[in-house]
């Protein structure tokens, strides 16, 4: 008897086949393993074949993830040995692994003077290094990556072809003799950029470190694009970067040599440490301890991360201070991935370039996450996490359906699906209506969801696969719109995907919506805040009705006004708007986002409004025609302005971060809002104006009032609660609500507009 397995998940380019090979040899099994574009195929014969799956699950490679295992019993053929076969091409549905930080084994070798890759800045193995950023097509073989131009030397080739070697089929494998090279560029007196000559690679890094110490601004090529780098402790260098980049106050992220250095500058929790040191190495928002001028002025948070490439580690061998490491781009445009574009767009910003000749095929920014108690939220899903793939398949063991670290079951042992029923019978998985065995399909149609206008992502759903793209960004420039379209083409190519339907937002002026409506496809438009709720339902596989609090800055409402402070009763198929902030005029239109002064003063009582210099103009403008909004994001802005915390919004999100900074848990005061369909927040605004200058009291009362309002509404409806939208990036607000109501909220899917495409696709999966 022979057993054939088809295994899907993150199983290519992560050392999966060598692991299978080692286990098969250990158990004296015969057969083969191969990569196909539809997963990993394994056939085995031998007395110990029943032990194979248990051994595989116990010994998975660090980056591997099994989402589905399909098995089939076949006739005995008499294999003579166990071998790894060449990859096969079928329909492309295999997951692409995100780029992963350099592993400890590679770092150990890199600092071993006897190793042939001693101090090699591109060291990697099957367990680490670039993946998505170098892939041109799948299956993930070297010929389908940007590494194909580097011919392996005989020593790398031996490692590459040895199933027992850690670098077996590690596609970016290379060394000093056959791999990419660093290139230092400097602008000469005539304004042209020229490469500088050095004896070896480490002297190039040492030279760049010296320039950083001197206060210069350097562009360094990483995994998914260039960083702009300078000494974070040098106020003059940071100021120069801000002036040249025309970024007057928005915080910069900082890279630190190690965890101890982070602890010198930040107060971090155990959860912060777990996120900072994870294999993904994201940017993590943490509490300040020591202030560095110009990095994140006014707020009490830093965005910190650790080195994640060999080059970063080597750079810090010559630096003993944190560095600014911010995305190299023009404001609101995607991260730059090649030096020609860098020189074209940022030549006047940078003094030196540390480039290399390993091409970045797919740009990918750094991920941003934040601890929320013992949980976390994702604010930007990119390097290390994305492409984020969910698989609708699983395995049946002992009569239970298992998938993604959870169990799916319901009454009477039946698994119910939208289009039929599946049931477990004597340990076998049976599906009515000729559905595929053991499969939870993501619908009959190929779905492309194109997300929102800010923090844009796209999502694909087809067969049993769901894929969230890395962060694309705000679609406010030609460059970002081009990147949005390029990302769609990339995923179409990688998965040989052609959408049957496109799902987009209802906002007529969103660039993603305009693009969708220009395509010759069936289009569905989903309300923005409902998409937030659906994204949470999708991540947690929620069925039934939920009370959904969706608070953000803006979203096109069904009545043509701008929503943003919404309470829904919603399920997978429909929603009802039951409460919302009483609409107010967005005086100044889009300009009110940056300057909330007139909007705020127009809403408060006259005797309070007279204390503000813009009183007369605000009251006059309130009689003019402006869009109506129920935005909670604007409510934060107005409270911050009226209390004197801000004069204007210097960058997105500052009002929320400052209110959070001034929140005092010892202040229990709150305002009792009347819970009606239209919830009037003017008492909160009047309080902020009446207590102008009392930052702690106003901030604390405002947050307490929000939490109290949410709790009171939750008691009325007695339904499980969902919270979502960009306002819930406010750590204090989310932690307080979480303690009282234990709501569902997005964690690995962005809680902000980066998750909108997920909700759109989820609606398509459940309704089309």
pLDDT, one tens digit per residue, over 610-627 is 999 999 999 999 999 999
Name 10's bridge partners: 65
pLDDT digits (tens, 9 = 90+) for 659-680: 999 999 999 999 999 999 999 9
Instruction: Say what angle helices 695-717 and 682-690 make with each other, to 10 degrees.
Output: 160
For the chain, the residue count is: 768
Alpha-carbon distance 95 to 740, whole Å? 38
Return the pLDDT at 139. 73
CB 332 within 8 A of CB 473: yes
Q: CA of 405: how far to CAs of 65, 394, 401, 478, in Å?
A: 11, 10, 11, 41
**pLDDT greater at residue 720 or residue 437:** 720
Return the pLDDT at 464. 75
Residue written as token pair 């110990």: 48
How many CA within 13 A on the CB side of residue 47? 2
If one counts every other C-beta atom within 10 angstroms of the C-beta of residue 176, the result is: 16
768: tokens are 């089309």
Confidence of residue 463 (pLDDT cuts 50, 70, 90): confident
Return the pLDDT at 402. 38
Number of separate helices (H) and strands (E) present in the chain: 23, 36
pLDDT digits (tens, 9 = 90+) for 390-408: 865 433 333 333 333 333 3
Alpha-carbon distance 579 to 70, whole Å? 47
Q: Which of 35, 234, 362, 686 is catalytic?
A: 35
If one counts every other C-beta atom within 10 angstroms of the C-beta of residue 557, the result is: 22
**pLDDT greater at residue 712 or residue 61:** 712
Q: Which of 17, 167, 337, 383 is catalytic?
A: 17
Secondary structure (3-state) at 12: coil
Closest C-alpha to 713, from 665, 673, 668 = 673
Burial zone of 170 (CB within 10 Å; 0-12 exposed, 13-18 middle, 19+ buried) = buried
Closest C-alpha to 326, from 235, 260, 232 = 232
Secondary structure (3-state) at 304: strand
* 128-142, 300-314, 322-336, 435-449: which is most confident: 300-314
Check if 17 is active-site. yes
Return the pLDDT at 409. 35
> Any residues with CB less than 8 A from the CB of 92 and at least 6 apart, and which?
37, 38, 138, 494, 495, 496, 497
735: tokens are 């932690």
Confidence of residue 443 (pLDDT cuts 50, 70, 90): low
CB 34 within 8 A of CB 87: yes
Closest C-alpha to 684, from 694, 699, 664 = 699
Measured at the CA of 664, the angle between CA 661 and CA 668, to 5 degrees, comes to 140
Return the pLDDT at 627. 95
Confidence of residue 39 (pLDDT cuts 50, 70, 90): confident
Which of 108-117, 193-202, 267-276, 390-399 shows the lowest per-residue confidence on average (mean pLDDT)? 390-399
Secondary structure (3-state) at 55: helix
Residue written as token pair 């609708």: 392
| Long-range Cβ contact pairs of 76-80 (< 8 A, separation 24 or more) | 76/1, 76/2, 76/45, 77/2, 77/45, 78/30, 78/45, 79/2, 79/30, 79/31, 79/32, 79/43, 79/45, 80/30
CB 520 within 8 A of CB 541: no
Rounded to the nearest 10 degrees, how much is the dihedral formed by the CA atoms of 145, 149, 152, 153?
A: -160
673: tokens are 């809002």
Residue 337 confidence (pLDDT) above 90:
yes
Check if 35 is active-site. yes
Alpha-carbon distance 141 to 89, whole Å? 11
Confidence of residue 89 (pLDDT cuts 50, 70, 90): low
Mean of all residue pLDDT scores within the chain: 91
452: tokens are 């929102």
Return the pLDDT at 430. 37
Pairing of strands 301-305, 428-431: unpaired
If one counts every other C-beta atom within 10 angstroms of the C-beta of residue 320, the result is: 10
Measured at the CA of 35, the angle between CA 31 and CA 36, to 5 degrees, comes to 115
Secondary structure (3-state) at 287: strand
If one counts every other C-beta atom within 10 angstroms of the C-beta of residue 613, the result is: 10
Measured at the CA of 458, the angle between CA 455 and CA 463, to 5 degrees, comes to 155
Alpha-carbon distance 178 to 172, whole Å? 11
Alpha-carbon distance 99 to 147, whole Å? 15
Q: With pLDDT > 90 as the criterion, what percentage of the chain qualifies?
A: 83
**Mean pLDDT in residue range 637-653:** 95
Pairing of strands 465-468, 253-255: unpaired
Secondary structure (3-state) at 302: strand
Judge if the upstream peptide bond of residue 724 is cis by omega within 30 degrees of 0: no
If one counts every other C-beta atom within 10 angstroms of the C-beta of residue 394, the result is: 23
Secondary structure (3-state) at 521: coil
Residue 132 confidence (pLDDT) above 80:
yes
């Amino acid at each position: 008897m022979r057993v054939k397995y088809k295994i899907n998940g993150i199983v290519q380019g992560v050392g999966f086949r060598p692991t299978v090979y080692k286990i098969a040899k250990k158990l004296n099994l015969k057969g083969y393993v191969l990569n196909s574009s539809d997963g990993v195929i394994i056939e085995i014969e031998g007395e110990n074949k029943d032990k194979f799956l248990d051994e595989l699950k116990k010994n998975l490679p660090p980056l591997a993830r099994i989402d589905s295992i399909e098995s089939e019993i076949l006739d005995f053929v008499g294999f003579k040995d166990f071998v790894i076969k060449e990859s096969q091409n079928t329909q492309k549905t295999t997951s692409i692994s995100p780029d992963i930080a350099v592993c400890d084994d590679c770092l150990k070798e890199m600092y071993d003077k006897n190793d042939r890759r001693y101090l090699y800045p591109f060291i990697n193995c099957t367990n680490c290094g670039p993946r998505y950023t170098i892939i041109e097509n799948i299956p993930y073989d070297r010929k389908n990556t940007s590494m194909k131009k580097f011919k392996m030397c005989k020593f790398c080739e031996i490692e590459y072809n040895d199933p027992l070697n850690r670098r077996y089929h590690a596609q970016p494998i290379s060394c000093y003799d056959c791999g990419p090279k660093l290139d230092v560029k400097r602008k000469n007196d005539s304004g042209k950029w020229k490469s500088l000559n050095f004896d070896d690679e480490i002297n190039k890094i040492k030279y760049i470190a010296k320039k950083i110490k001197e206060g210069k601004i350097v562009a360094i090529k990483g995994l998914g694009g260039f960083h702009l780098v300078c000494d974070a402790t040098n106020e003059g260098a940071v100021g120069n970067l801000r002036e040249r980049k025309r970024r007057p106050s928005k915080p910069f992220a900082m890279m630190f040599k190690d965890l101890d250095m982070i602890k010198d500058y930040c107060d971090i929790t155990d959860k912060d440490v777990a996120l900072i040191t994870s294999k993904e190495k994201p940017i993590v928002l943490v509490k300040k301890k020591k202030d560095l001028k110009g990095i994140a002025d006014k707020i009490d948070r830093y965005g910190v991360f650790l080195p994640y490439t060999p080059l970063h580690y080597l750079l810090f061998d010559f630096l003993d201070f944190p560095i600014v490491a911010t995305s190299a781009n023009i404001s609101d445009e995607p991260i730059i991935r090649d030096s020609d574009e860098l020189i074209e767009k940022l030549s006047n910003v940078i003094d030196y370039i540390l480039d290399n000749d390993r091409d970045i095929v797919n740009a990918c920014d750094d991920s941003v996450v934040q601890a929320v108690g013992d949980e976390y939220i994702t604010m930007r899903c990119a390097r290390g996490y994305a492409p984020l793939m969910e698989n609708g398949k699983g395995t049946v063991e002992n009569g239970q359906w298992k998938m993604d670290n959870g169990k799916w079951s319901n009454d009477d042992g039946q698994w119910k699906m939208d289009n039929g029923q599946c049931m477990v019978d004597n340990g076998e998985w049976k599906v009515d209506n000729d559905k595929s065995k053991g499969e939870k399909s993501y619908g009959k149609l190929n779905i492309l969801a194109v997300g929102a206008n800010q923090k844009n992502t796209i999502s694909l759903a087809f067969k049993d696969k769901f894929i969230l793209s890395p962060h694309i960004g705000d679609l406010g420039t030609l460059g970002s719109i081009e990147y949005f379209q390029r990302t769609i083409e990339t995923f179409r190519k990688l998965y040989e995907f052609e959408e049957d339907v496109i799902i987009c937002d209802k906002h007529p002026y969103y660039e993603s919506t305009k693009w969708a409506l220009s395509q010759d496809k069936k289009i569905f438009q989903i309300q923005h805040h409902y998409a937030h709720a659906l994204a949470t339902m999708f991540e947690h596989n929620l069925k039934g009705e939920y009370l959904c609090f969706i608070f953000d800055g803006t979203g096109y409402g069904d009545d043509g006004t701008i929503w943003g402070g919404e309470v829904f009763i919603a399920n997978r198929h429909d929603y009802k708007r039951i409460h919302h902030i009483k609409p107010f005029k967005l005086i100044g239109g889009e300009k009110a986002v940056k300057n909330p002064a007139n909007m705020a003063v127009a809403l408060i009582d006259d005797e309070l409004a007279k204390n503000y210099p813009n009183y007369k103009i605000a009251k006059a403008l309130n009689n003019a025609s402006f869009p109506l909004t129920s935005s909670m994001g604007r409510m934060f802005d107005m409270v911050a302005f009226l209390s004197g915390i801000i004069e204007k919004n210097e960058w997105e999100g500052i009002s929320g971060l400052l209110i959070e900074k001034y929140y005092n848990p010892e202040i229990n005061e709150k305002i009792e809002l009347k819970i009606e369909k239209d919830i009037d927040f003017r008492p909160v605004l009047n309080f902020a104006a009446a207590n102008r200058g009392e930052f702690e009291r106003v901030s604390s009362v405002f947050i307490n009032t929000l939490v109290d309002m949410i709790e009171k509404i939750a008691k009325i409806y007695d339904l499980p609660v969902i919270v979502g939208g960009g306002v819930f990036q406010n750590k204090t607000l989310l932690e307080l609500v979480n303690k009282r109501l234990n709501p569902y909220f997005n964690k690995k899917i962005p809680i902000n507009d980066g998750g909108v495409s997920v909700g759109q696709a989820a609606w398509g999966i459940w309704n089309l």
